[in-house]
């Protein structure tokens, strides 16, 4: 049985039967549903028609009290097909007709359930209620009217059993017909399928068996031009191609044997070349000036070159298998790898970071001497094991050069301060010269000489002063002359007084500028708790004449902030450099008729830092230059040296602060942001009024 149903023909027949069964089953279901609906509608229409007819002929019998005729009418109705009962009731629901068909099974059952042997007029209401509970009976009510007055109503009940029986018989007949159709069509389709499909498939199967045995010379006979015929043709072509492929395979196998021998020779030659290349690489690593250490995932040294032994003054036995942290002078690393949860690749000194990240440590030699060390860590996989290549570089010489550069930058910054001081003093001296020339001009043009002559004339005529003033022509002019000379001398006195006050102010300004320069020159690199706003104002004072000379509007916006731990001269150099750069960045503003503005803001960023912002509306910075602007040697000025901003960045880092720049692009100005550390346990604030 199992073998029978595993054949393609049996499966096809089962599929056909299933399809026909589903199709005819759905069709039969729809037909039966439609028949049941028609039967129900027919029964409903019959009940309504009989009830309506009875309601039309009953009024005359009721009005004439002809109950015999009324009973006869109900009897005629009751004996119609499917009719269970018919009764006329009055308006108060009491029965007016008495005919009952006791042979009806529904009536008999209702009487038994109500325990009644006979059905009287008073029992009809109970019987009708009992019958209404039966789902196989359809109930109707029709009013009996005469000239618009309701005389009563006709209650009738029709059984659905006969209609259900007709539907069942129709369903059984349809099912028998469906089974017959399925059997007939299945047999017909099977024979057609067997002749047109199974036979060609069997031929293909026999051909497959011959291919399995290696018999490729006998093709399968093609007996049709349909899809199976085309498949047979393709099968024959496949046999031909397979025969050709086998021949080519044999030929290729022979060629492969020849190539294999050649490949073995080439592998041997390539192995020798690799050995030579490895030896060259080893020689390069041993002679390269920078130390190269290979450490495993746990941080232990597995390989190193000659430069490492030289840098640490150690032997191969001392380095091999040593934990890499022991190369550092900081002893906190020496035992970290023994802690639980420690992962050297994440927590160790030579941890993995971004590609190209440079780490700086203090290295220690076997003799205990230390030296600055820079390293770059790269991850590699060797023999399926995670390794790290650490390139070590002794940067003692570089640190020395950086120190020299820092000193040069400090001197340059102090020179900038001194230049600003001299420039300011020069401008003040110009004002002093103007005031001196004004006083000299007043003295040169003074009326004192004329007054002396008038006094001499008056002295010569002193003995006859009255006559001289009254009668002498020159004497008569003297009183008015003395009045005019007095007025002129008063004007000269006022002018000289103002110029003298101006001279005193200019001299005091020169004293203040020189005092500021001396203060910063004496401060050096000592860390102090100082007012940030005071240092900012000093830096502005150094460049004050530049603001006037280049017509730059200064906006100060200071908030109350705590004192900070800073190096006075370093911060002053940074501020002077940045403010000077902002002024120079606005040289082209005049060409586009844009006001020159520098805004300096001071506020508290958080509990540990004060923020200083220096914002201008000048040239701006290209987006591509933002990340390079603090690099050593980078400059966009024609006469720039490229270490001003680099030195600013180093100075801020050394003070425990930071510097960054923001710009929306060329022509959009730039903002330099400094953050300096707040002094510990310092709760006092600078008291500075906001300047708009």
* Tens-place pLDDT, residues 250-271: 778 777 777 777 877 777 777 7
Residue 203 CA: distances (Å) to CA of 153, 207, 209, 493: 83, 6, 10, 139
**pLDDT band of 595, cuts 50, 70, 90:** very high
pTM of the model: 0.36
Window from 60-74, 626-640, 678-692 with minimum mean pLDDT: 678-692
Window from 128-132, 261-265, 683-687 with minimum mean pLDDT: 683-687
Contacts of 682 (CB under 8 A, 6+ apart): 529, 562, 563
- 423 pLDDT more than 60: no
| Average pLDDT, integer, range 472-485 | 77
- 408 pLDDT more than 70: no
Strands 609-616 and 597-604: antiparallel
Cβ atoms of 54 and 70 closer than 8 Å: no
**pLDDT band of 687, cuts 50, 70, 90:** very low
Question: Residue 259's pLDDT is what?
Answer: 79
- 691 pLDDT more than 50: no
Question: Residue 502's pLDDT is what?
Answer: 61
* Distance in angstroms (rounded) separating the CA atoms of residues 446 and 219: 141
509-525 tens-digit pLDDT: 566 556 655 555 555 55
- 272 pLDDT more than 80: no
Cβ atoms of 578 and 535 closer than 8 Å: no
Question: Residue 413's pLDDT is what?
Answer: 56
Question: Residue 690's pLDDT is what?
Answer: 38
Question: Residue 371's pLDDT is what?
Answer: 86
| Average pLDDT, integer, range 598-622 | 92
**pLDDT band of 616, cuts 50, 70, 90:** very high
Residue 539 CA: distances (Å) to CA of 38, 414, 481, 536: 107, 12, 56, 5
**pLDDT band of 659, cuts 50, 70, 90:** very high
**pLDDT band of 692, cuts 50, 70, 90:** very low
Mean pLDDT of the chain: 77
Cβ atoms of 207 and 239 closer than 8 Å: yes
Question: Residue 1's pLDDT is what?
Answer: 47
Polymer length of the chain = 692
More confident residue, 262 or 10: 262
* Distance in angstroms (rounded) separating the CA atoms of residues 421 and 417: 6
**What is the number of alpha carbons within 13 Å of residue 620 lying toward its C-beta?**
12
| Unique residue bearing structure tokens 């941080």 | 299
**pLDDT band of 611, cuts 50, 70, 90:** very high
Window from 28-32, 201-205, 246-250, 452-456 with minimum mean pLDDT: 201-205
Among candidate residues 664, 659, 641, the one with its CA nearest the CA of residue 649: 659
* Distance in angstroms (rounded) separating the CA atoms of residues 250 and 242: 12
Q: Which two tokens stand for residue 451?
A: 């007054």
- 427 pLDDT more than 60: no
More confident residue, 670 or 643: 670
Q: Output 124-132 pairs: Cβ under 8 A, ≥24 positions apart.
A: 124/87, 124/89, 124/94, 124/95, 125/89, 125/93, 125/94, 125/95, 127/85, 128/85, 128/87, 128/155, 128/157, 131/84, 131/85, 131/106, 131/107, 131/157
87-129 tens-digit pLDDT: 888 777 777 777 777 788 888 888 788 787 777 666 777 788 8
Question: Residue 561's pLDDT is what?
Answer: 92
């Amino acid at each position: 049985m199992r073998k029978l149903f595993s054949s393609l023909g049996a499966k096809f027949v089962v599929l056909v039967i299933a399809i026909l069964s589903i199709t005819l089953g759905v069709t039969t279901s729809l037909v039966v549903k439609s028949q049941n609906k028609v039967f129900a509608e027919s029964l409903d229409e019959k009940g309504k028609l009989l009830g309506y007819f009875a309601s039309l002929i009953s009024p005359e019998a009721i009005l004439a009290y002809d109950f015999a005729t009324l009973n006869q009418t109900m009897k005629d109705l009751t004996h119609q097909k499917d009719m269970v009962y018919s009764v006329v009731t009055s308006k108060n629901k009491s029965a007016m007709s008495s005919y009952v068909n006791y042979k009806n099974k529904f009536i008999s059952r209702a009487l038994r359930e109500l325990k009644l042997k006979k059905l009287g007029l008073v029992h009809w209401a109970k019987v009708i209620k009992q019958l209404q509970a039966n789902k196989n009976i359809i109930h109707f009510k029709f009013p009996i009217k005469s000239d618009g007055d309701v005389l009563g109503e006709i209650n009738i009940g029709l059984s659905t059993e006969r209609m259900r029986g007709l539907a069942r018989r129709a369903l059984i007949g349809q099912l028998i017909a469906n089974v017959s159709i399925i059997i007939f069509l299945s047999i017909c389709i099977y024979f057609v399928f067997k002749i047109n499909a199974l036979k060609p498939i069997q031929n293909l199967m026999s051909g497959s068996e011959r291919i399995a045995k290696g018999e490729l010379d006998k093709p399968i006979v093609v007996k049709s031009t349909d899809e199976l015929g085309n498949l047979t043709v393709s099968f024959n072509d496949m046999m031909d191609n397979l025969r050709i492929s086998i021949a080519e395979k044999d030929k290729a196998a022979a060629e492969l044997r020849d190539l294999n021998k050649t490949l073995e020779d080439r592998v041997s030659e390539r192995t020798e070349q690799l050995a030579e290349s490895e030896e060259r690489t080893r020689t390069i690593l041993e002679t390269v000036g920078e130390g190269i250490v290979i450490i495993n995932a746990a941080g232990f040294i597995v390989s190193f070159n000659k430069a490492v032994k030289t840098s640490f003054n150690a032997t191969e036995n001392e380095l091999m298998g040593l934990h890499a942290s022991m190369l550092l002078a900081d002893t906190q690393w020496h035992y970290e790898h023994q802690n639980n949860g420690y992962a050297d690749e994440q927590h160790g000194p030579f941890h993995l970071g971004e590609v190209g990240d440079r780490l700086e440590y203090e290295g220690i030699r076997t003799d205990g001497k230390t030296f600055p060390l820079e390293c770059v860590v790269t991850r590699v996989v060797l023999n399926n094991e995670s390794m790290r290549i650490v390139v070590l570089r002794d940067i003692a010489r570089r640190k020395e050069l950086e120190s020299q550069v820092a000193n040069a930058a400090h001197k340059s910054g102090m020179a900038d301060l001194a230049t600003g001081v001299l420039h300011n003093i020069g401008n003040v001296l110009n004002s002093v010269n103007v005031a001196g020339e004004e006083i000299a001009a007043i003295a040169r043009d003074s009326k004192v000489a004329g007054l002396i002559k008038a006094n001499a004339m008056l002295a010569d005529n002193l003995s006859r002063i009255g006559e001289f003033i009254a009668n002498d022509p020159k004497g008569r002019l003297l009183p008015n002359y003395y009045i005019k000379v007095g007025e002129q001398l008063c004007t000269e006195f006022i002018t000289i007084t103002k110029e003298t006050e101006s001279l005193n102010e200019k001299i005091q300004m020169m004293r203040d500028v020189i005092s500021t320069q001396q203060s910063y020159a004496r401060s050096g690199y000592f860390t102090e708790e100082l007012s940030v706003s005071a240092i900012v104002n000093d830096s502005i004072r150094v460049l004050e004449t530049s603001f006037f000379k280049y017509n730059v509007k200064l906006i100060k916006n200071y908030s109350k902030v705590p004192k900070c731990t800073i190096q006075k001269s370093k911060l002053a150099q940074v501020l002077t450099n940045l403010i000077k750069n902002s002024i120079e960045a606005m040289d082209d503003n005049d060409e586009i008729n844009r006001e020159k503005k520098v805004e300096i803001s001071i506020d508290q960023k958080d509990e540990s830092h004060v923020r200083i912002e220096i914002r201008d509306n000048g040239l701006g910075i290209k987006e591509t230059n933002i990340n390079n602007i603090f690099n050593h040697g980078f400059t966009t000025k024609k006469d720039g040296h490229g270490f001003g901003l680099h030195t600013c960045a180093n100075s801020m880092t050394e003070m425990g602060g930071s510097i960054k720049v923001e710009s929306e692009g060329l022509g959009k100005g730039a903002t330099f942001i400094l953050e300096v550390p707040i002094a510990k346990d310092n709760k006092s604030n600078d008291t500075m009024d906001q300047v708009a």
